[in-house]
Amino acid sequence: MTSDNVESVSIMVPSGMLGAGFPEETITRGIALGADVIAVDGGSTDSGPHYLGASKPKTTAAAVSRDLRLLLRAAAGAGIPLIVGSCGTSGTDDGVDWVAGIVADLLAEEGLSMKVARIYSEQRAADLKNPLEAGRIRPLPPLGDLDVATLEDCTHIVAMMGHEPIAEALSSGAQVVLAGRATDTANAAAYALLKGMPAGPTWHAAKIVECGGQCTTNPRTGGVFATIDRTGFTIEPLDESAACTPISVAAHMLYETANPFQMREPDGTLDVRDAVYTALDERRVRVEGSLFHHAEQHTIKLEGARITGYETMSFSAIRDPLILADIEGWASLMHAVLTHRVEQTLGLTGEDYAYDLRLYGYNAVLGDLDPSTEPPREVGVMLLVRAADQALATAVAKVANPLMLHLPAQDMDYLPSLAFPGSPAEVERGAAYEFVLNHAVDSLTPTAMFRTEMGEKHHG
């Protein structure tokens, strides 16, 4: 890949996640400011392992389609590329195809002709056995050494690409790049690195813009616009009523990083210890002094999820002041009575199922980290049962049903009536997943684990 002799590259990031929405006028402004590329993240692991395990998107198709329509129009009109990373939330092949299908429909509806690249990042367990046996896969904290059985247990495995597969697709003429799982920064950094911008400012800018307006004084107003050059980058909000300040920009290095001064990418480590943040005016910030240390060994992170059981949830509400005066005592009684009743009626022991009893409005969020000092006015009791199959989880929840509705406190001489929010009280949540892969692979090449297909056709 060859770089052009350009002096700067301007990146428009419309929002922190595709489908989150943004004001249409902010896109118009970004184009007017001279955007060279539009980049947006399409996924995250923030909402837990379900989306990877089930290979389903978190966002609704209507929201993704609305955002993409505006972005495709803007990119086509300005003749600039559009990059979407981590398509379909988790970046599985299904996620890439899902977004590609929406793009194909929109291009047809809008009468646009754009060359689309789809980059697939999903991995087969069988293909990872050789690097595992060769010692090329190592754990990242807090996980331990990986074994083949864990790979085979995963319903889906993705590799997290850096900028290289995206840059390769762009250099091959792609006008729309739909990438599987990628680092949050890779989609924003790829075009600038392809055009020869220095790695330090590029990766630092990509980190700051990754979540759109989160680095501004008003994150609700949309995205940001960053211009990277030979010595640093300048950043401003797309919405003229919002501002970037040195504090709002520098603070984003605290977000989702183990070290606020250094951040690892597949190709190396961003180092902002000597970065200087300067307010150019009330809305724009200039950043200089960022460095990037290229690693001797390129690495790719693996993410994988497996089914741990099936869940059924029940919820009731308590306003009885006698129960609320000692809600922890009532919860302990519920545990004891429910455990006994499940063994008595279903013949199950603690090895056959598990459950949580969470007291919302009392301590469900922080538990013992923030003990309550006075009785709550009301408490929502959530029972979450997990078992090897759905029927078993629901059976346990149904055993709990009369207790969730009428269990009296230890010293009560009457039967209280608690409140279910709906009927039936039990909600079957389906398969529950857990992340089991947080490991790094020593890459043979930066693109070897990824597959790119060009054109507007569907993958399959």
Query: What is the CB-side half-sphere exposure of residue 131 using CA atoms within 13 A?
Result: 22
| pLDDT tens-place string over residues 17-34 | 999 999 999 999 999 999
Sign of CA dihedral 27, 33, 36, 39: negative
- pLDDT (0 to 100) of residue 371: 87
Write the DSSP assignment of 406-422 as a string of letters. HPPPTT-SS----B-SS
Domain boundaries, the chain: 8-121+161-298+443-454, 307-436
* pLDDT < 70 stretches in the chain: 1-4, 456-460
CATH class of this structure's domain 307-436: alpha beta
Give the number of other Cβ atoms within 10 Å of residue 444's Cβ: 12
Instruction: Compute the residue count for the chain.
Output: 460
Q: Which residues contact 166 (CB under 8 A, 6 or more apart)?
A: 83, 85, 119, 177, 179, 182, 186, 187, 190
- pLDDT (0 to 100) of residue 448: 97
- pLDDT (0 to 100) of residue 456: 55
- pLDDT (0 to 100) of residue 460: 36
Give the number of other Cβ atoms within 10 Å of residue 111's Cβ: 7
- pLDDT (0 to 100) of residue 373: 81
Query: What is the CB-side half-sphere exposure of residue 337 using CA atoms within 13 A?
Result: 18
Q: Which residues contact 150 (CB under 8 A, 6 or more apart)?
A: 304, 306, 436, 437
- pLDDT (0 to 100) of residue 272: 98
Specify whether the CB–CB gap between 194 and 101 falls below 8 A: no
Q: Rounded CA gap, 373 and 377, in Å?
A: 13
- pLDDT (0 to 100) of residue 458: 37
- pLDDT (0 to 100) of residue 3: 59
- pLDDT (0 to 100) of residue 185: 97
Name residue, tokens 């690249």. Answer: 117
Specify whether the CB–CB gap between 168 and 452 falls below 8 A: yes
| pLDDT tens-place string over residues 319-350 | 999 999 999 999 999 999 999 999 999 999 99
Q: Rounded CA gap, 127 and 90, in Å?
A: 20
Continuous H helices in 161-320: 164-171, 186-194, 199-209, 246-251
Q: Rounded CA gap, 200 and 307, in Å?
A: 40
